[in-house]
Amino acid sequence: MIKTEHLSKAFGEIQAVDNIGIEITDNSIFGLAGTNGAGKSTFLRLLSGVLKPDQGSILIDEKSVYEQEEIKREIFFLPDSAYFIPNATGKSMADWYSAYYPKFDKKRFDELSKRLDLDTKRKIHTLSKGMKRQVSMLLGICAGTKYLFCDETFDGLDPVMRQAAKSILAYEVTEREFTPVIASHNLRELEDICDHVGLLHKGGVLLSREVEDMKLHIHKIQCVIQNPVLEEELLRELDVVQHEKRLSLMTLVVRGEKDKIMEIVESKFPVFAEMIPLTLEEIFISETEVAGYDIKDLFY
């Protein structure tokens, strides 16, 4: 488990990480969202033991991480721009990392590289940006560490690769002790993969929630109600976060329990009504409104 308390780091006048207290439970996929400059990279570098905190503590499996080799061998950090030895191939990088990470699984590296159609004998500097990201992601996954910290790792991948990467990560989480933390400035990159999402803003945590838990309490409905009086009633009776109407089709984002919401909708005799899945972005819009922020100002 990762636990930080009052974690702070400044660069001169800039407070990059400001009093972060967060818990990341084992075998969950933790998404770290935030705009450019929110402090995501600094936070991950602190977690990896690359930077020393000015204040506060970081405990990983109850051990302090800064300058502690034993726990660092359980951490693989994928920075925004990955480091490769000059002239290295995927295979030679796998050999290189095996020397430091005793649980590095070369067989799995070969297997996953084949699956993603990556030639591990090719010089990495000749690969495209997205392919380089794939190689570094596979190196990180196959290192066999308990923790993998990814800084914008998914952002350069095409949609097919992103899905493949997500399914590989999800598989690893179910198969072994593995806790990835994925930072992204784009909530859509974290969609469908994270169990828990923390939102960073100006170095602090604006909110941190279980995705499933949030989904239980907020829903999206599309419906057509022909009677304008009943439509007005519906908007009054529901706890509406957002609503829009196109021709006769109303789309509502509503707080509350699913069954109760549908009961109210049905009482207005809709011609058509159905629940549709909410995006992470829509959930966060409603959650941050409660905290007095407008996420649209943060992400657009």
Q: Which residues bind ligand ATP (CB under 6 A)?
A: 11, 14, 16, 34, 36-42, 185
Looking at the DSSP bridge assignments, the partners of residue 196 are 30, 210
Residue 254: half-sphere exposure toward Cβ, Cα within 13 Å: 25
> Which is nearer to ligand ATP, 47 or 221 (by Cβ)?
47
> Which is nearer to ligand ATP, 13 or 69 (by Cβ)?
13
Give the shortest CB-248-to-ligand ATP separation in angstroms.
41
> Which is nearer to ligand ATP, 250 or 298 (by Cβ)?
298
Give the shortest CB-249-to-ligand ATP separation in angstroms.
36
Is the torsion defined by CA of 89, 170, 181, 296 positive or negative? positive
> Which is nearer to ligand ATP, 81 or 242 (by Cβ)?
81
Give the shortest CB-219-to-ligand ATP separation in angstroms.
31
Question: Can you tell me which residue has the tokens 């409905």?
Answer: 221
53: Cβ contacts below 8 Å, ≥ 6 apart: 7, 8, 9, 17, 46, 66
Cα 190 to Cα 230: distance, rounded to the nearest angstrom: 38
Give the shortest CB-38-to-ligand ATP separation in angstroms.
4
Instruction: Write the DSSP string, 187-209.
Output: HHHHTTT-SEEEEEETTEEEEEE
> Which is nearer to ligand ATP, 145 or 184 (by Cβ)?
184
Give the shortest CB-41-to-ligand ATP separation in angstroms.
3
The helix or strand, by DSSP H or E, that contains position 163, with its residue range, turns out to be helix 159-175
Q: Which two tokens stand for residue 166?
A: 């997500």
Q: Give the amino acid at 173.
A: V
> Which is nearer to ligand ATP, 38 or 265 (by Cβ)?
38
> Which is nearer to ligand ATP, 11 or 171 (by Cβ)?
11
Give the shortest CB-140-to-ligand ATP separation in angstroms.
18
Give the shortest CB-149-to-ligand ATP separation in angstroms.
12
Q: Give the amino acid at 264.
A: I
C-beta separation of 60 from 73 below 8 A: no
Cα 91 to Cα 95: distance, rounded to the nearest angstrom: 6
Cα 94 to Cα 142: distance, rounded to the nearest angstrom: 9
Distance of CA 218 to the CA centre of its chain: 19
